[in-house]
Amino acid sequence: MVNIIQVFHSYSGKDCKLKKKDLKELINSQMSSFVKVSRIILYFQNVTRLLSCGVLSRGSLRMSA
């Protein structure tokens, strides 16, 4: 918990307020692996939902390398 607070303070400055730019920088630099995993999970949830609704067919999915 202490580490989280220290990271927040390092990005928020003396006034302890995060600007949108600072929050984006914090997320991209400190939480990039978490964000990547979250996006992958969200992608697969959306694909699963579209498949179950019949919007996509299994034959239309292509995996790229």
> What is the end-to-end Cα distance of the chain in Å, rounded?
38
Tell me the mean pLDDT in the region 3-13: 82
Assess whether pLDDT exceeds 60 at residue 37.
yes
Per-residue pLDDT tens over the stretch 17-35: 888 888 888 888 888 777 7
Per-residue pLDDT tens over the stretch 49-63: 887 877 766 666 555
Q: Quick one: how far is CA 15 from the chain centroid? A: 26
pLDDT band at residue 47, thresholds of 50, 70 and 90? confident
Tell me the C-alpha distance between 38 and 45, whole Å.
10
- pLDDT reported for residue 65: 47
- pLDDT reported for residue 35: 76
Q: 21-49: b or e for each residue (b if 16 or more CB lie within 10 Å)? A: eeeeebeeebeeeeeeeeeeeeeeeeeee
